[in-house]
Amino acid sequence: MVTIPSLKQALRSRQVTIGSWITLAHPAIAEIMAGAGFDWLAVDLEHSVLTIRDAEDLIRVIALCGVAPLARLSHNDPVEIKRVMDAGAHGVIVPMVNSREECERAVASVYYPTGGRRGVGLARAQGYGMSFEAYKEWLQKEAVVIVQIEHIDAVDNLEKILSVDGVDGYMIGPYDLSASLGVPGQFDHPQVLSALKRIHEVADRLGVPGGIHVIQPDPSEVKRRITEGFTFLAYSFDMLMLGTTCRQGVRAVKSVPYPAGGGSA
């Protein structure tokens, strides 16, 4: 059986972990990325056309490669949370959590009673019915709940959200946060910077580890975010890394002078 380092313990001890988003359904994508050295990988059900069947296949590959598999949900839905957890996800990243009540619903949907209200089933996570007791114990010790702070309403309610028992960390969604302030994509806008400062201050005071999604595949930006205190970093996503690498390579090749008599088609 493959041993996967505890992401929950890494979050608690404020270790820096680097992950990424998977939006393409082919299992080879998950296998390639898992072999690249990421600490965790999130199957993205929000901004992709991935199905629950795709998610199970990707979660399986990620886990068998020894990396913690997470699922970024399409929305804060107890049924979807139950299905991805039953498929073997080690935790969920919940988008657009804007209130304490929404946060409590997400946490309760991950855990079984009495601590939660997730329905009990026997699927891949429970060893297809062969290891329910072991899974029940693992769930209490290792399941991860990350809430996405990506709206000004969430910033305004941040103390209440991050005070919910069972929240392991937060992740800032920079595009949606800036959009909620009326300045989409303007990450250096004073209003966005003010919101980020408040998130840092509240999270540090409450002792909740945080992260941010660095959209462009720029290692220097990840390093900058680490120096700012973020420990749960998402480094780009599969589609953008593929497109960026292809464009950079083609531009570099086409910039090389062609020999006499040669030329591009």
Q: What is the pLDDT of residue 1?
A: 66
pTM above threshold 0.85: yes
Tell me: the pLDDT tens digits for 105-140? 999 999 999 999 999 999 999 999 999 999 999 999
Q: By percentage, how much of the chain surpasses pLDDT 90? A: 94
Q: What is the pLDDT of residue 258?
A: 77
CATH class of 7-254: alpha beta
Q: What is the pLDDT of residue 182?
A: 97
Closest by Cα among 254, 250, 200 to 230: 200
Q: Is 47 annotated in the active site?
A: yes
Q: What is the pLDDT of residue 259?
A: 78
Check residues 210 and 264 and name the one with the higher pLDDT: 210
CA angle 76, 80, 84 (to 5 degrees): 120
Local confidence band at 265 (pLDDT 50, 70, 90 cut-offs): low
Angle subtended by helix axes 100-110 and 78-86, to nearest 10: 30
β-bridge partners, 71 = 43, 92
Distance separating alpha carbons of residues 56 and 13, to the nearest angstrom: 29
Check residues 258 and 188 and name the one with the higher pLDDT: 188
Q: What is the mean pLDDT of the chain?
A: 95
Distance separating alpha carbons of residues 221 and 240, to the nearest angstrom: 15
Tell me: the pLDDT tens digits for 199-256? 999 999 999 999 999 999 999 999 999 999 999 999 999 999 999 999 999 999 999 8
- Among 26, 47, 75, 200, the active-site one is 47
Q: CB under 8 Å to 91, separation ≥6 — which residues? A: 7, 8, 68, 70, 71, 110, 143, 144, 145, 146, 168
Q: What is the pLDDT of residue 263?
A: 56
Question: Which 8-state DSSP code applies to residue 119?
Answer: P
Q: What is the pLDDT of residue 264?
A: 54
User: What are the boundaries of each domain within the chain?
Assistant: 7-254
